[in-house]
Structure 1
Amino acid sequence: MAMNVVDGKLAVVDAENPAISAESPFDLAQRANWLRAAVLGANDGLVSTASLMLGVGAVKADARAMVISGFAGLLAGACSMAIGEFVSVCSQRDVELAQLESDGKRGSEEEKNLPSPVQAAAASALAFSVGALVPLLAAGFIGDFRLRVGVVIAVATAALATFGCVGAVLGRAHVVRSCARVVIGGWAAMSVTYGLMRLFRASGI
Structure 2
Amino acid sequence: MASNQAISSNEAKFVVPTNDLEQQTTLEIESKEFDYSKRSQWLRAAVLGANDGLVSTASLMMGVGAVKQDIKAMILTGFAGLVAGACSMAIGEFVSVYSQLDIEVAQMEREKQRGNGRRREGEDNEEKEDLPNPLQAAAASALAFSVGAMVPLLAASFIREYKVRVGAIVGAVTMALVVFGWLGAVLGNAPVFRSAARVLVGGWLAMAITFGLTKLIGSSGL
TM-score by length of 1: 0.85
Q: Displacement of 1:158 after TM fit? A: 0.4
Q: Displacement of 1:82 after TM fit? A: 0.3
Matched, 1:136 2:153: yes
Distance 1:6 1:101 in 2: 35
Any stretches of 5+ residues in structure 1 without a counterpart? 11-26
Distance 2:46 2:194 in 1: 20
Q: Displacement of 1:186 after TM fit? A: 0.4
Matched, 1:187 2:204: yes
CA RMSD of aligned residues (A): 2.0
Matched, 1:203 2:216: no
Distance 2:58 2:145 in 1: 12
Structure 1 56/106 Cα, relative in aligned 2: closer, same or farther at 3 Å? farther
8 A Cα contact 2:36 2:189, kept in partner: no
1:37 to 35, 40, 45: 45
Instruction: Please list, as runs of the form range in 1=range in 2, the aligned pairs for 1:1-205 lying within 5 A after superposition.
Output: 7-9=31-33, 29-31=37-39, 33-104=41-112, 108-109=124-125, 110-205=127-222
Distance 1:33 1:170 in 2: 12
Structure 1 67/138 Cα, relative in aligned 2: closer, same or farther at 3 Å? same
8 A Cα contact 2:36 2:188, kept in partner: no
Distance 2:97 2:37 in 1: 18
Distance 1:31 1:170 in 2: 8
Q: 4+ residue stretches of structure 1 with deviation over 3 A?
A: none
8 A Cα contact 1:42 1:130, kept in partner: yes
Distance 2:136 2:120 in 1: 21
Distance 1:120 1:113 in 2: 14
Q: Displacement of 1:29 after TM fit? A: 4.3
8 A Cα contact 2:95 2:134, kept in partner: yes
Distance 2:133 2:120 in 1: 16
Q: Displacement of 1:36 after TM fit? A: 4.6
Greater relative contact order (Cα < 8 A, sep 6+): 2
Larger radius of gyration: 2
Structure 1 6/140 Cα, relative in aligned 2: closer, same or farther at 3 Å? same
Distance 1:154 1:106 in 2: 57
8 A Cα contact 2:39 2:188, kept in partner: no
AA in 1 matched with 2:32: G
Any stretches of 5+ residues in structure 2 without a counterpart? 1-28, 113-118
TM-score by length of 2: 0.78
Q: Displacement of 1:7 after TM fit? A: 4.2
Count of aligned pairs between the two proteins: 186
Structure 1 101/117 Cα, relative in aligned 2: closer, same or farther at 3 Å? same
Deviation digits for residues 53-97 of structure 1, max 9, x if unmatched?
Answer: 000011110000000000000000000000000000010000000
